[in-house]
Amino acid sequence: MSDASSKLRVYFTTTVPEARKIIRDGFTDLWTFGDQQGVWVGNRPLDMNDGFEGDVTLAVTIPAEVFSGFEASETDPADPTGERWFKTGRAIIPAEVLNQHGPAQIYDHQYAGLSRRDLLHAIRLWKADAEEEAEDAAAEAWKGEPAALLGDPDAMRCKANELQAAFDFFEEIGWMTPLRVSEEQRASGSAT
């Protein structure tokens, strides 16, 4: 029997639509690395610098030995012989293995910590600003004046749509507090 010290939380960053599928149906094998198929996870949240884009970071707690058994290694670039290797902190773990330790939990979301009310308010503001900018641009065009100093209504609509997708996601999965926010709240509460 393993104790809590042999557990490790692994992270997977993804898009809202993919996170919905994972929360609903579990992980599926998304990548192949050598002869291994699975899901790239990290021992820390992965982001764009690691090649992972998305608004949602999911987490699953697995035995540490499972992670180390699948962890990727790379040659040390400082070693001219190429004989020295190091662990990357990332692993490609079969979805079936991750799902045995799931379900995935939401660790973080780009809009984590916003209330339902705040998110709705932001959506309304971005939509209203987009419409106002579009009207201003049309008025300036009618006068024959450049609209270069005006905001981009398409970019504003895009932001409103992004916020709406976040709202819809939270509506679907419930307005639970992501793990990162809960942990920060506990840490700040215990520090005072």
pLDDT tens digits, 102-152: 789 999 888 887 888 999 999 999 999 888 887 776 666 655 555 444 578
Give tens-digit pLDDT for 28-55. 988 777 788 899 999 999 888 888 888 8
Residue tagged 């009310």 (tokens):
117
Q: With 80 as the cut, is the pLDDT of residue 71 above it? A: yes
| Distance from C-alpha of 156 to C-alpha of 126, rounded to nearest angstrom | 6
Give tens-digit pLDDT for 86-116. 577 889 999 999 999 978 999 988 888 788 8
Could you tell me the pTM of the whole model? 0.74
Confidence label for 192 from pLDDT (cuts 50, 70 and 90): very low
Give me the percent of the chain exceeding a pLDDT of 70: 83
Sign of CA dihedral 182, 184, 190, 192: negative
Position 47: which residue type? D
CB 150 within 8 A of CB 136: yes
| Distance from C-alpha of 170 to C-alpha of 84, rounded to nearest angstrom | 45
pLDDT for 85 equals 63
